[in-house]
Structure formats: C-alpha cells, structure tokens
C-alpha cells in the first residue's frame, strides 16, 4: 500500500472527470484505505476545438501531456479512453490495466429523425470522426458530413443550436454522463462498426512501477484486455491513425475470439472487410492477420490515400 495518495492524472472535460471518478472508485474499492488525488491536465486536444484531429496531430493529442506528467513523476497513473490511445506507446510507459468494457456501440442523436436511415436527403451529420463519416456516407451518400469538435456536451449543444441535423456519439460516454436518454437510437455494429477499443478505459503508468501495477491488478478485466489487444494489433498492422478510417470489434465467447475489421476511404465510396477467429490466446495474431488482409485487399488505393 502506498504511504501517500495515489495521484491520478485526467483531462478536465466532464467526460474525462466522470470516467476518472469511476476508475478511482474501483481502485479504492480494491485497495481499502488507499487515498487518492485527482490531477487535472489540459491537453492540446482540449485547447484546439476548431479543427479536426487529423489536421493537428491525431488522437495522441488527448494523451501527450498526461504522458509527460507520468515521465515527470507528477502523476502515478493516467486514465484514458482506450480509443484515444496511440497505436504505439512512448518508451517506458505501459497500459497496466484495462477495465471491463462498456457498450462499444455508437448512439444516434437528432431532433429530426429516429435513425440514420430516416434522415431526409441532404441532411447534415456532424462529426469529426473519419470512421463515423465514412460509414455514414457508405450507407447514405446523399447526406452531408460537417465537422463537429468538442466534448459530448458541446456537441449536443451544437446539435440543439442547429449547426447540424444529427450527430453520433459513443454510447458508453453518454452512459457515463447519465445522458443515454438523449440518444434517439443505438446503431447496430452491422451499420456502424465501432472504433478500435471503443467503450474501454485504460490506466497508463510507468512501465517499471511494480507497486502501482499491484494496486491496479485487481480491477483489470482479462476478457476486455484480450479483445482490445486483438483490435489494436489490427490497427498497428495498418499503421492506423486519425487520418485513416478504421473500425474493429473483437468479441469473445467460450474461449474463442472473433474479430471483425473494416477499412474505408474517407468519403465512404469504398471499403474493405476482414474477419478472423481463433483461441483467445492468439488474439494479437488474429488482429495482425486481419489487418494484413485489409491492407492486401486495399492495395495501392489505401497506400495512395496515406501519402
């Protein structure tokens, strides 16, 4: 047991604070008597809200300052939405714990329609996610995708003010904010395959900090950790970033893992699909092979897009 408070690093958005509060409560429940301190860190992604992430450096902008705080020993752990964690971690840091995954699906919000397919022709769907945009346009090429940045509350306010006719948000995030009633419908994964690791929370720490790892071990979920490992292996094989529309979801049943992955052109005009299945012990291999299959299918079309 630490002889001082555990310093938990977090972003300051309502979503991040809600998620970090959940994580803190679970850590304390697993380690009775442990004191904690929340350390709020402002990231670049919190400061620049008028441009898509793909233009300003990618999803690592959600984690960079938190990782710097870990390096500087200003915090002991940092709480992340795993979908925001870069494909490759900085040297000396590790995701020591992934909690049980919440619902990975996306929610549809609109004052005008119950579902994506009910929107009128030409309606504006607000999102800055290339993955969501590509899938929206794949199903409804008649719709117009418009940029929409900001935290969940900000995006809902922009929707209410008429900046767009509909938007999509992670269902897990809405649930953590007790705002799931705002969703008009939940998109099935067959319509909107989630982002890699969507719905999963991870805790990052210094890789060699055995004492901190021991505190986190009781709240780690082996099933979610395995599923996320498969999805992130697919992402790594594709050199995935915020410039690349990629979706993947791994599901585990009876000791076997099935992974479904999709790769898109940003305008949704083309997509490629790959799946893999096998023992949970081979999760990363399944992910790598599915990623390789997607890359092979897309060929030069995908390579040219990355350039």
Please state, in angstroms and rounded to a whole number, the distance separating the CA atoms of residues 71 and 251: 34
Identified catalytic residue from 46, 50, 76, 84:
84
The CA distance from 273 to 214, in Å, is 39
Rounded Cα distance between 77 and 5, Å, is 12
CA distance 240 to 157: 30
Cα–Cα dist 224/230, whole Å: 10
Instruction: Specify whether 84 is catalytic.
Output: yes
- Rounded-to-integer distance, Cα 48 and Cα 31, Å: 37
Beta 201-206 vs 144-146: how paired, if at all?
Answer: unpaired
Q: In this structure, how many other beta carbons lie within 10 angstroms of the beta carbon of residue 199? A: 24
Q: Residue 44 in contact with residue 64, Cβ under 8 Å? A: yes
The DSSP-derived string for 210-258 is HHHHHHHGGG--HHHHHHHHHHHHHHHHTT--TTS-EEEEEEEETTEEE
Active-site positions? 84
């Amino acid at each position: 047991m630490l002889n001082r408070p555990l310093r938990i690093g977090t972003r300051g958005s309502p979503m991040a604070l809600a998620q970090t509060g959940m994580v803190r409560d679970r850590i304390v429940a697993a380690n009775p008597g442990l004191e904690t301190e929340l350390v709020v860190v402002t990231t670049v992604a919190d400061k620049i809200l008028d441009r898509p992430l793909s233009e300003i450096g990618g999803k690592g902008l959600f984690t960079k300052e938190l990782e710097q705080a870990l390096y500087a020993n200003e915090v002991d752990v940092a709480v992340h939405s795993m979908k925001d964690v870069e494909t490759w971690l900085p040297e000396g840091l590790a995701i020591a714990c992934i909690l049980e995954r919440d619902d990975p699906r996306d929610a549809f919000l609109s004052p005008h329609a119950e579902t994506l397919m009910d929107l009128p022709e030409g309606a504006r769907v607000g999102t800055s996610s290339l993955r969501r945009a590509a899938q929206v346009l794949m199903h409804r090429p008649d719709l117009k995708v418009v940029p929409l940045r900001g935290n969940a509350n900000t995006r809902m306010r922009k929707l209410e003010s008429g900046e767009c006719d509909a938007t999509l948000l992670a269902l897990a995030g809405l649930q953590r904010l007790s705002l799931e009633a705002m969703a008009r419908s939940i998109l099935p994964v067959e319509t909107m395959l989630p982002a890699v690791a969507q719905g999963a929370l991870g805790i990052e720490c210094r890789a060699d900090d055995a004492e901190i790892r021991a505190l986190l071990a009781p709240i780690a979920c082996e099933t979610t950790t395995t599923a996320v490992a498969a999805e992130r292996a697919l992402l790594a094989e594709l050199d995935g970033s915020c410039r690349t529309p990629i979706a993947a979801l791994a599901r585990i049943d009876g000791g076997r893992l099935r992974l479904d992955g999709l790769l898109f052109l940003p305008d949704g005009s083309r997509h490629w699909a790959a799946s893999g299945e096998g023992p949970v012990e081979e999760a990363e291999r399944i992910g790598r092979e599915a990623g390789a299959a997607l890359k092979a299918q897309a060929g030069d079309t995908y390579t040219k897009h990355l350039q």
